[in-house]
Amino acid sequence: MTKPLKIAALGIDHRHIFGQAASMMEVGAEFVGWWTARETPVEAGFQKRFADVPRAADKKTLLDDPEIDLIVIAAMPSERADLAIEAMRAGKDVMVDKPGCTTLEQLDRIMQVQAETGRIWSIDFSERFEVPAVTKAAELVAEGAIGKVVSTTGLGPHRLNRATRPEWFFDRDSYGGILCDIASHQIDQFLFFTGSTDAEVVAANVANYANPDDPGLQDYGDLMLRSDAGHCYIRVDWYTPDALPTWGDGRLTILGTEGYIELRKYVDVARADRTDNLYLVNGTRCEYIDCRDAGRPYFQRLAHDIRDRSETAMPQSHAFKVMELALKAQQLAESRG
């Protein structure tokens, strides 16, 4: 019998650590330890959820443990690159929360160390990998249900939840900017659904319209991408109203030459309060599909990749390209003043 993978967490500054750890446990991994550089608002809930997982006083204890296969990271965004580099140099594979890094210099170092060590550096783009509706959309696209995909429109609104946010959330250098952070999700989906391995940032904007007392916060951003396979428009913001029953009305429209798919991932406004809503329109079908049971294969595939040294969960080059484009879009937007 193959021994189970063992995972440990470095950094629990963001609630995405819950999905990262729990999803790996669902595919049979053992969660054996965690470390944090600071106390965080997430910690109480984390300790309640993972009560049997011991806290390490020193990250070196986890990095030096030869039994640990995968390090999951949800530290403050600006710290994720160095932690990932330490983990890869210690012989561990890495799954990092998005954004995987916050500067192009960090990305260059990650790429260099990944090439040197041969370890996996994967980003859990939760708006694709933790959303069954995206799994179903990928199946439909692969079946040719909408022809050749030529465009995606990705909307990533979020609720600010000011009272629960740590200080770093309002510091530009700590979180990397709104396009680097949130829009990396939509960039990932554009590259994936169009089959693009590269793209150009055509336009990008960031702003702070609603939070003047927090000058480090960018509460609005948009960008356009173009590749040899298609086009993309992305809008992200921190304006989700309190009446919405979830944290954001995230949507993705996938346009093909023979039809289109719209995903209403987390809510379908004014309808039943359920997630994973898909609408398909093509030459013979015009229908709603409930995708809640479509599965989330990324985590099982990553487990196989760790064992087999393969790239079935996400090509390594894809993770690098998403962050390169997100950082270049952020740079372009801020150069506009």
At 112-163, the pLDDT tens digits run 999 999 999 999 999 999 999 999 999 999 999 999 999 999 999 999 999 9
Q: Residue range 174-192: average pLDDT?
A: 98
Mean pLDDT of the chain: 97
pLDDT, residue 1, reads 47
In the chain, domain spans = 6-124, 128-296+329-335
Q: How far is CA 182 from CA 50, 66, 258, in A?
A: 26, 34, 30
Architecture category of domain 128-296+329-335 in CATH: 2-Layer Sandwich (3.30)
Q: Residue range 171-199: average pLDDT?
A: 98
Look at domain 6-124 and name its CATH class.
Answer: alpha beta
pLDDT, residue 272, reads 80
pLDDT, residue 270, reads 87
Q: How far is CA 273 from CA 15, 133, 188, 249, 263, in A?
A: 22, 15, 27, 12, 15
What is the reported pTM?
Answer: 0.97
Per-residue pLDDT tens over the stretch 5-57: 999 999 999 999 999 999 999 999 999 999 999 999 999 999 999 999 999 99
The H or E element spanning position 306 is helix 298-308
Span between the terminal Cα atoms of the chain, in Å: 58
Place of tokens 């289109």: 260
pLDDT, residue 337, reads 65
